[in-house]
Every structure is written in structure tokens, then in C-alpha cells.
């Protein structure tokens, strides 16, 4: 059975392997022992911490095959970005150049450096190992986070965002960054991306252009990738769009990948989720449901087929499934139909 749970210190070796496998542009999984161990420790502390409003917590989860003990993937939630380290984006806007005397009216796209998402909750670090990219695993590894946020609402902002990986080649070269590098920096994209991943962001404030950038002045290659996602990221973007996320003109400062956002109460899985009491009983057939327990520190989530009436206050769970979720008769679960 596939179960999602909080990461533990013992998971470090496989987290490091996934960081290597994730490749260039995956900022939230830097190939750095100290940083990854720090992420795990911070996550463990966040799950234990008493919280009444979102702050600097970070929740890191893993997908485990309970039959073999293999860790197949990971995903995370940052409760509130930009409170400790500045969270930068470019906003794609417009300015109008007009002259009545000359009969000229021209709309021009510009990119403006901003910190508009400060305090927002971020979905991040979604990675499923290539040999375990089976039907539904990636979807579940993303969607269960909406159940977690709905259950522990006080821990998260109402504004939920996700930065989507932008266009880069197999060597980690970004057409957008190449233009910035030529005019403002002397470091390549993988280096800049890695420095950001390990928290060394001061160079952004020091070297990034302080004034809006006219998009028409960028190279044709750079212009072509603004707001576009990496080929491997398209399924993740489509999944979030199906949940109600949309783009609002914000892009990454390194590869120009889009940022999508939604209000938590508008996200389909969170909005349609229900809290029901458990009854241990055999189940056959039914509809597919994503289910989680309501124990923060011992959180578990998985998916199965169930029969759930619209007016039900209870749900029957097979004994094996209930055991995987660490729930007993009379406990509570949160679930959403898939």
C-alpha cells in the first residue's frame, strides 16, 4: 500500500538520492547534506509545534510503499514564505507609451521585481522517482496536501501558491537567465539556482536590476520562455489548474517559470473534503477517495475505493487500510472523492 507520512531523520539517504535525481532547476531540493538534514529537522519541529497562525513552518512529506519500505517520492508545504528570507518574483505588467501629437499609442510588457507573495503558503518540492511514476501516485502526492491544509487550517495562509519549474535544457541552461547573466551577472543558471536553494539570496538584491525590464529588450529566446513550464512540469501544472489554480502574471526570477495561485477555500479537493467518523468494516467496490487521518504529528494519507453517502456522518474503512492510516473505530478521517 502507498502511504504518505511526515519525513523522518532516517529518510535522509533517500532524500539525498531524490535531490540528485531531480536535476537542475529544482531549487527546493539542493544537493547539499547540511541543507537537506536541516530541512528534515525543521519539518520534524514544525509537525510538533503548537501553531495558531502561519509562520516559518515547513512540512516535508514522503510517499512510502509499505510493502517494501521504499520511499517513492516527496512533497512539501511552506506555511508562509518571505518572512525570514525575501521571496522574489517578477511581475509581468504593462506600460503605455502614447503621444497625441504624433498619433502613437503603444503598449509595452515589463517585468518588475517584487515581493508580493510575502506571507503566502507555498506548495513545493513535489518529486516522484521516475521508476515509481505509476498511475495516480503523482496526483495523490500533490493533492493530499489540500486535505492536510483543510484539516489544520490555522497553520496556513488563505493564499496558496506554487512556483512551476521553467524552461531549461538538459545541461541546466535557461534562456531567460542567459540574458540576465550577460547583462547583470557573472554566474551561470545552475550556480544561481543552487545558491538560492541553500538560502544565499543576498546576491539577488545586490545584482538584480532595480528598475522594470522591458520585455522587448530581452533576447528572442528569453522572451519565448516567459511564463512557460519545463516539459516534465506540465502534468503538475495541469493538475493544479484542475484544482482551481491560475496564473496571475508572476514568474520566477531565474527561469521565468509561472507561479500559480488559488484561495484555499476555492481549491477543489479542500472545498469538497469532509470529516467523517471511522467504522472498521469490509468494503468492496465503490468510488476512489483520498483519505487522511486527523493526527498532525502522526499524519498518514492514502487512497482507496469507498462507499460514502452524501449525508453520511460515518465511513466504513477496511481493517488493513485503517491500520495504514493509524486509525481505529471511532476515530476521525478527512476524505475527498477523486
Active site residues: 230
The residues that bridge with 106 in the sheet, in sequence order, are 97
Distance (Å, whole) CA 134 – CA 132 = 5
What cell does 294 get?
Answer: 486527523
Half-sphere exposure of 335 (CA within 13 A, CB side): 29
For strands 213-214 and 301-306, give the pairing: unpaired
**Residue 199: how many other CB atoms lie within 10 Å:** 13
- The answer to whether residues 73 and 144 touch, using CB atoms and an 8 Å cutoff, is no
Distance (Å, whole) CA 287 – CA 292 = 16
Q: How far is CA 333 from the centre of its chain?
A: 23
Distance (Å, whole) CA 23 – CA 175 = 17
Region of 262 (left: φ > 0; alpha: ψ -120 to 50; beta: rest) is: beta
- The answer to whether residues 76 and 63 touch, using CB atoms and an 8 Å cutoff, is no
Distance (Å, whole) CA 76 – CA 40 = 11
Amino acid at each position: 500500500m502507498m502511504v504518505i507520512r511526515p519525513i523522518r531523520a532516517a529518510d535522509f539517504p533517500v532524500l539525498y538520492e531524490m535531490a540528485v535525481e531531480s536535476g537542475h532547476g529544482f531549487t527546493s531540493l539542493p544537493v547539499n547534506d547540511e541543507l537537506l538534514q536541516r530541512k528534515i529537522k525543521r519539518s520534524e519541529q514544525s509537525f510538533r509545534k503548537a501553531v495558531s497562525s502561519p509562520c516559518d513552518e515547513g512540512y516535508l512529506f514522503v510517499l512510502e510503499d509499505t510493502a517494501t519500505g521504499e520511499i517513492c517520492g516527496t512533497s512539501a508545504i511552506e506555511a508562509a514564505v518571505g518572512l525570514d528570507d525575501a521571496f522574489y518574483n517578477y511581475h509581468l505588467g504593462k506600460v503605455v507609451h502614447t503621444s497625441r501629437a504624433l498619433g502613437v499609442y503603444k503598449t509595452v510588457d515589463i517585468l518588475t521585481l517584487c515581493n508580493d507573495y510575502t506571507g503566502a503558503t507555498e506548495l513545493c518540492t513535489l518529486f516522484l522517482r521516475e521508476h515509481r511514476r505509476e498511475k495516480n501516485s503523482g496526483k495523490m502526492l500533490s493533492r493530499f496536501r489540500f486535505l492536510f491544509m483543510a484539516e489544520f487550517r490555522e497553520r496556513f495562509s488563505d493564499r496558496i501558491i506554487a512556483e512551476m519549474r521553467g524552461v531549461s535544457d538538459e545541461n541546466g541552461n535557461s534562456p531567460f537567465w542567459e540574458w540576465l547573466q550577460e547583462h547583470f551577472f557573472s554566474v551561470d543558471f545552475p550556480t544561481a539556482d543552487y545558491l538560492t536553494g541553500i538560502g544565499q539570496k543576498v546576491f539577488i538584491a545586490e545584482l538584480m536590476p532595480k528598475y522594470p525590464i522591458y520585455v522587448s529588450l530581452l533576447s528572442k529566446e528569453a522572451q519565448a520562455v516567459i511564463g512557460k513550464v519545463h516539459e516534465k512540469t506540465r502534468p503538475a501544472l495541469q493538475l493544479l489548474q484542475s484544482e482551481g489554480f491560475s496564473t496571475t502574471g508572476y514568474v520566477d526570477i531565474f527561469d521565468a517559470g509561472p507561479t500559480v495561485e488559488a484561495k484555499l477555500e476555492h481549491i477543489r479537493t479542500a472545498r469538497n473534503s469532509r470529516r467523517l467518523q471511522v467504522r472498521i468494516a469490509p468494503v468492496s467496490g465503490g468510488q476512489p477517495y483520498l483519505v487522511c487521518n486527523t493526527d498532525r504529528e502522526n499524519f498518514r494519507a492514502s487512497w482507496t475505493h469507498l462507499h460514502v453517502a452524501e449525508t453520511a456522518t460515518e465511513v466504513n474503512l477496511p481493517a488493513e487500510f485503517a491500520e495504514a492510516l493509524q486509525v481505529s473505530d471511532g476515530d476521525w478521517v478527512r476524505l475527498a472523492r477523486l
